[in-house]
Each structure stands twice: as structure tokens, then as C-alpha cells.
């Protein structure tokens, strides 16, 4: 990546900085709900950071804020040193559902982000086609999404997210709906893409194994209101393969996550409230 | 001791949620499926039913079982057909009704789609406009007939206007139902990619409403025809509706049937074209109806 020396943010500045983010939902006939409270986080350029936490820890709220879809009650989102709070389109966001447009072919779905960002459709196709070939979607270019399996649909959605010209991508439980084998293949595939595209990833998951396997760093969120209970690095060497999940280091990191998750569990089960 | 081991009948019953003893032992159900007939058999039967009906009608009229003065008869209808085609204006009448229907259908559906889709742009505007649409939908449009004839005259314009009145609300309501059913997450996705409201409208709302709009079209083609015919009934110089009305006034039952038969053929043809067009509009999506 060659950037002009003047505009290049120094390597010391984090790619993305969350600065004391809090958000309170107010509605007319209910007490205000504090969804997240005072979340601060610095994400290094090119790193893979996972957020884990039980439902109700405000992950969706946090991602909506980062994606600029929601303006926080207080705090700032800083990208490359610039305040982007409440501005959409600068950070890519992939939701749990694949959200492919059913009336577009897979190829035209993959270029959707580029098209929204103003690229000519034909030009965007030229960019996307070789990537689809390379990342296992070549056969499905002309198919409509309804004829694809869940895994293939998620691949298309992920490729669409990566193709946007944004350095930071937010992935909100992208593999939650997939079966275990498919999920594992998708995790490896994601790591390949992450390396190839040199993106900074924020990844939300319920799955501790997934978080440990994928991440450089893990943040454990505690619920109601969501705040960062702890964060730590994952010192496993890359590239990682499946064997790593049975290594003692992996298991001890996993143990640490589980301890934190269960330690922060509210004694009264208030499941099912606003996530 | 024995009492402990063998529970009383009452206790047994309380252990079982269902009164097992009271049910007959069932032998299971054999599921029978009707086997589809060959296509030729279906067609053959359809033709046979038609021919039998026509032949029965003709025979009944011949030997006095059916009064041909009121019911006419296939032979009289055939004669009337020949006369009408040779001497009458029936081709022009058919063309008149056809063009009024098509124009009303296209304009009405377009107007309805524009109105329904435009409600997406502002939830407040939608809230203001909704009762008007509901009321206009509830009013029997035929009641507007005399008014429309007085305003637009007895020419084709009034028939088109009535067809628009018959069709536009249906598409407007379908399009609005489509607007309400747009997946919020698709909107969110588009916005998170940096899209503006215009992008959301043209790339998400419009395509996802198309199946809804399309599903209103095959209702609309019948409605447009009804609107055009209603206009012709009230006052017109041309049209199949005018033929039927005139024939009724002169007790020419055979001519009424001629009008109905041409109308049926016209309606079927238009319906087939619209169904084909609907299919094209769906493109990867599933049909949606209100």
C-alpha cells in the first residue's frame, strides 16, 4: 500500500478508535435503556479484532454506530484520525443475514457496493469477475441467489463487503446460520481474504472457538449496559490451521474467554430484551 | 401390599394424559393420491364438454326445452356472427374497447404504482394520504361513471378515465403493501455502503416492490376491461359494451352472445399477455400479493 507521505497517517495512530461511546435508547412510553456504556477501543491497522459477549451486550448497537447508521448519545468514532461519528459509507458492514438482492445475479450482487460508491456497472464487473473466480464463486456469477447454498451466499456477501473501498469491515456474526463444517471452511476462507485484501476487521460472534481461531485480539463485552469487560491478545502464530484448536495455548485462551463470559453473566436471566 | 403394586383404575387414568383405554385401535391411514391424467386427455375432455354444452343447447332450443327467445341458440348466434362481421362495425367496436382497455390499464397501473411507491419517500406523507386511498378504494368506481361521462364526453376518453379509476387504486395499494414489506436490512445495507435515499429507492425499494405491482396487473386487466365496458354501457357510440347494451334494448339475444363471446376472447388474450409480462417482471423473486 503506497500512500502519499503527507496524507499517510503515522503507523502509531490506530486505524479505528472508539472514544467513550455510549448510547441510550429513549422511547416515549418506556424508561430509557442504556445499550452501551463508555466503550473505548483502539484497533490497529490490519488487525483482526473479535467482540464476544452474550445477547444484550449491545453489539448490534455498537456496530450500527460504527457504520454510521446510528448517532451515539455520546462519544466519537475516529477513522484514520478523522471524526466519522454518524457518517455512513466509510466502514463496511456485513450483517448476519447475507442480504443478497434476490433480483440481481450473484455477480451483480458482489458489485453492489462498488456500484453504490459510484463505479460504472461494467467496470465494477471487470473488477469483480477475476476475484469471484479466485475465491470459489466463479461458477455462480450468472446465478440468482435463491439457487445458492447458505455458504455460497455468505461468500458472495463477504466478497461484496470486501470489495467496497473501505479499509475497515464490520462482520456481525456472519457465520452464525451455517452448519459446523461450512462454518469452519468459511473461517479459513475469511482468513485468506483478510490476508489478501489487507483489511482491518471487527468481528462479532457468540462462538468463543471462532473468536480465538480468527482473531489477533479479543474483547469480551459484558451486558446491560454493554461495556468492555476485558481485552487481550491472541498470541497464536499465523497462518493458523485447524490443529491449533486443540493446542494448549488455544485451550487456555478459550478458558479465559469462557471465564469472563460466565463471570459477567447477570444473575437474573433477562434474556430476550433489546440486543 | 397388593394395593400398592396394582394401582386402581382411577390412578392409572391420572398417569396417562390421554384416555388410552377409550380409543379404538387404529389401523393407520392409507394416503391416496390422484394420478394426473395425460395432457391430451384433459384437453380432449375440455373440448368434449364444450361441444356437449353447445349441442345440448342447440337440441334444447330445437325441441322447445329451452326458449330461444330468451336464451338464443348456437345456430342463431352463428348467424348473428356472420351478419355482424359482414355488415356491422364489430371489428371497430372490438378495437375501440381494446384500445380503451389497454390505455386505461397502462395509465391506471402506472399512476397507481407511482402513487404507491411515492409513499415510501415520507412516512408522514403516507400517513396523510392513506385514508384518501382507502376511501377511494372502498367507493364503487362504477358510481363515478355518469360524472366521468359528463366531464370527458361520450368518446374514448371517458372509457379510459373509468378504466383508470378501476385500476389505479388496486396497483397503488399493492405497491404500498410492497413498500411496507421492503426488508429494512437491505435498506440498512445500502445506507452502510454509503448509498443515498435515491439509491435505496431505485436499487432496493423499486425492485422489491415489482412483484407486488406485477401481482396487481392480472387483476387490473380485468378491471380495466370492466371500466371500459361500464363506460360504454352508460353512453357510447362504439364498443362491445355498446353492442351488448343495444342488443339488450332490442331483445337481440344472439347479438348479446356475440358481444359476450368476443369480450371473453379479448379478455383471455389480454390476460395471457399480462401473465407473460408479470413473469418477466418477477426475475428471481417470488410472487407477492396483498
Task: Write the pLDDT tens digit of every residue in B64-96.
Answer: 898 988 899 999 999 999 998 888 788 999 999
Distance CA A163, CA A131 (A): 9
In chain A, residues with a C-beta closer than 8 Å to the C-beta of B195 are 89, 116
> How far lies B273's CA from each of B216, B267, B269, B287, in Å?
14, 10, 6, 17
Average pLDDT, chain B: 87
Percent of chain A topping pLDDT 90: 0
**What pLDDT does residue A54 have?**
77
**What pLDDT does residue B38 have?**
93
State the smallest CA–CA distance between residue B4 and chain A in angstroms.
Answer: 43
Average pLDDT over residues A51-80: 83
Cell of A89: 459509507
Q: Is the pLDDT of residue B4 over 70?
A: no
Task: Evaluate whether A215 touches A46 at the Cβ level (below 8 Å).
Answer: no
Q: Indicate yes or no: CB of B193 within 8 angstroms of CB of A89.
A: yes
Average pLDDT over residues B257-264: 94
Average pLDDT over residues A63-79: 85
**What pLDDT does residue B228 have?**
94
**What pLDDT does residue A3 have?**
44
Q: Indicate yes or no: CB of B192 within 8 angstroms of CB of A92.
A: yes
**What pLDDT does residue B262 have?**
94
**In this prediction, does ipTM exceed 0.85?**
no
Cβ neighbours of residue A159 under 8 Å, at least 6 residues apart?
A110, A128, A131, A132, A135, A137, A193
Q: What is the SS3 string spanning B68-121? A: HHHHCCHHHHHHHHHHHHHHCCHHHHHHHHHHHHHHHHHHHHHHHHHHHHHCCC
Average pLDDT over residues B154-178: 93
In chain A, residues with a C-beta closer than 8 Å to the C-beta of B199 are 116
Q: Is the pLDDT of residue B18 over 70?
A: no
Q: How confident is the model at residue B260 (pLDDT cuts 50, 70, 90)?
A: very high
Average pLDDT, chain A: 81
Q: Which of B189, B197, B202 has the highest number of chain A CBs within 10 A, making it the mutation to test binding with A?
A: B189
Task: Write the pLDDT tens digit of every residue in A139-170.
Answer: 888 888 888 888 888 888 888 888 887 888 88
Q: Indicate yes or no: CB of B193 within 8 angstroms of CB of A90.
A: no
Task: Write the pLDDT tens digit of every residue in B28-43.
Answer: 888 888 889 999 999 9
Q: How confident is the model at residue B3 (pLDDT cuts 50, 70, 90)?
A: very low
Of residues B282 and A248, more confidence is placed in A248
Average pLDDT over residues A223-233: 81
Q: Which of A84, A95, A102, A104 has the highest number of chain B CBs within 10 A, making it the mutation to test binding with B?
A: A102
Q: Is the pLDDT of residue B205 over 70?
A: yes
**What pLDDT does residue A1 have?**
44
In chain A, residues with a C-beta closer than 8 Å to the C-beta of B283 are 103, 144
**What pLDDT does residue A244 have?**
82
What is the CATH number assigned to the segment(s) B72-282? 1.10.3720.10
In chain A, residues with a C-beta closer than 8 Å to the C-beta of B201 are none
Q: Report helix angle A150-163 to A180-197, nearest 10.
A: 20
**What Rg do the C-alpha atoms of chain B give, in angstroms?**
29
Percent of chain B topping pLDDT 70: 90
The model's pTM: 0.78
Q: Is the pLDDT of residue B129 over 80?
A: yes
Q: Is the pLDDT of residue A27 over 60?
A: yes
**What pLDDT does residue A12 have?**
64
**What pLDDT does residue A88 have?**
82
**What pLDDT does residue B1 have?**
45
Q: Is the pLDDT of residue A185 over 90?
A: no
In chain A, residues with a C-beta closer than 8 Å to the C-beta of B285 are 102-103
**What pLDDT does residue A271 have?**
47
Backbone angles phi, psi at A29, to 5 degrees: -115, 20
**What pLDDT does residue A5 have?**
45
**What pLDDT does residue A2 have?**
45
**What pLDDT does residue A274 have?**
43
CB contacts < 8 A (A, B): 59
Q: Is the pLDDT of residue B258 over 90?
A: yes
- Closest Cβ opposite residue B185 in set A99, A102, A144: A99
- What sign has the CA pseudo-torsion A265, A269, A270, A275? positive
Cell of A22: 455510549
Q: Is the pLDDT of residue A33 over 70?
A: yes
CB contact burial A259-270 (16+ within 10 A = b; e otherwise): ebbeebeeeeee
Amino acid at each position: 500500500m503506497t500512500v502519499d507521505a503527507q496524507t499517510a497517517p503515522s503507523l502509531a495512530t490506530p486505524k479505528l478508535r472508539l472514544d467513550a461511546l455510549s448510547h441510550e435508547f429513549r422511547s416515549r412510553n418506556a424508561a430509557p435503556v442504556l445499550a452501551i456504556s463508555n466503550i473505548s477501543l483502539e484497533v490497529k491497522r490490519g488487525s483482526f479484532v473479535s467482540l464476544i459477549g452474550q445477547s444484550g451486550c449491545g453489539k448490534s448497537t455498537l456496530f450500527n454506530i460504527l457504520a454510521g447508521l446510528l448517532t451515539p448519545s455520546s462519544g466519537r468514532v475516529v477513522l484514520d484520525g478523522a471524526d466519522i461519528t454518524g457518517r455512513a459509507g466509510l466502514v463496511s458492514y456485513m450483517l448476519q443475514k447475507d442480504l443478497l438482492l434476490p433480483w440481481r445475479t450473484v455477480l451483480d450482487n458482489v458489485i453492489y457496493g462498488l456500484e453504490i460508491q459510484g463505479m460504472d456497472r461494467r467496470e465494477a464487473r471487470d473488477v469483480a469477475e477475476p476475484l469471484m473466480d479466485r475465491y470459489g464463486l466463479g461458477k455462480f456469477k450468472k446465478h440468482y441467489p435463491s439457487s445458492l447454498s447458505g455458504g455460497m451466499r455468505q461468500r458472495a456477501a463477504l466478497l461484496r463487503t470486501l470489495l467496497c473501498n473501505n479499509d475497515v469491515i464490520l462482520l456481525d456474526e456472519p457465520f452464525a446460520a451455517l452448519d459446523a463444517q461450512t462454518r469452519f471452511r468459511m473461517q479459513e476462507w475469511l482468513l485468506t481474504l483478510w490476508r489478501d485484501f489487507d483489511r482491518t476487521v471487527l468481528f462479532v460472534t457468540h462462538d468463543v472457538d471462532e473468536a480465538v481461531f480468527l482473531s489477533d485480539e479479543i474483547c469480551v463485552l459484558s451486558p446491560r449496559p454493554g461495556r468492555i469487560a476485558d481485552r487481550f491478545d491472541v498470541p497464536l502464530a499465523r497462518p493458523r490451521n485447524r490443529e491449533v484448536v486443540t493446542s494448549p495455548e488455544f485451550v487456555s485462551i478459550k478458558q479465559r474467554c469462557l471465564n469472563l463470559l460466565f463471570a459477567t453473566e447477570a444473575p437474573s436471566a433477562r434474556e430476550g430484551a433489546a440486543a | 401390599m397388593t394395593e400398592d403394586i396394582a394401582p386402581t383404575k382411577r390412578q392409572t387414568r391420572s398417569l396417562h394424559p390421554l384416555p388410552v383405554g377409550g380409543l379404538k385401535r387404529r389401523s393407520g391411514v392409507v394416503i391416496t393420491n390422484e394420478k394426473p391424467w395425460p395432457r391430451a386427455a384433459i384437453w380432449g375432455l375440455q373440448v368434449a364438454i364444450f361441444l356437449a354444452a353447445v349441442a345440448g343447447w342447440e337440441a334444447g332450443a330445437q325441441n322447445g326445452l329451452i326458449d330461444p327467445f330468451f336464451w338464443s341458440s348456437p345456430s342463431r348466434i352463428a348467424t348473428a356472427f356472420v351478419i355482424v362481421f359482414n355488415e356491422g362495425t364489430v371489428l371497430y367496436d372490438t378495437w375501440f374497447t381494446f384500445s380503451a382497455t389497454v390505455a386505461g390499464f397502462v395509465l391506471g397501473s402506472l399512476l397507481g404504482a407511482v402513487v404507491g411507491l411515492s409513499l415510501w419517500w415520507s412516512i408522514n406523507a403516507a400517513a396523510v394520504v392513506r385514508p384518501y386511498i382507502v376511501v377511494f378504494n372502498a367507493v364503487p368506481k362504477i358510481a363515478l361513471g355518469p360524472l366521468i361521462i359528463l366531464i370527458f364526453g361520450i368518446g374514448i376518453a371517458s372509457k379510459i378515465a373509468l378504466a383508470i379509476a378501476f385500476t389505479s387504486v388496486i396497483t397503488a395499494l399493492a405497491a404500498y403493501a410492497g413498500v411496507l414489506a421492503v426488508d429494512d436490512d437491505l435498506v440498512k445495507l445500502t445506507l452502510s455502503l454509503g448509498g443515498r435515499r435515491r439509491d435505496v429507492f431505485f436499487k432496493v425499494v423499486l425492485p422489491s416492490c415489482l412483484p407486488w405491482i406485477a401481482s396487481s396487473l392480472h387483476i387490473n386487466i380485468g378491471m380495466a376491461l370492466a371500466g371500459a365496458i361500464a363506460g360504454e354501457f352508460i353512453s357510447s357510440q362504439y364498443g362491445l359494451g355498446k353492442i351488448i347494451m343495444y342488443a339488450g334494448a332490442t331483445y337481440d339475444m344472439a347479438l348479446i352472445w356475440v358481444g359476450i363471446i368476443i369480450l371473453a376472447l379479448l379478455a383471455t388474450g389480454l390476460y395471457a399477455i399480462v401473465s407473460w409480462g408479470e413473469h418477466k417482471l418477477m426475475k428471481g423473486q417470488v410472487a407477492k400479493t396483498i
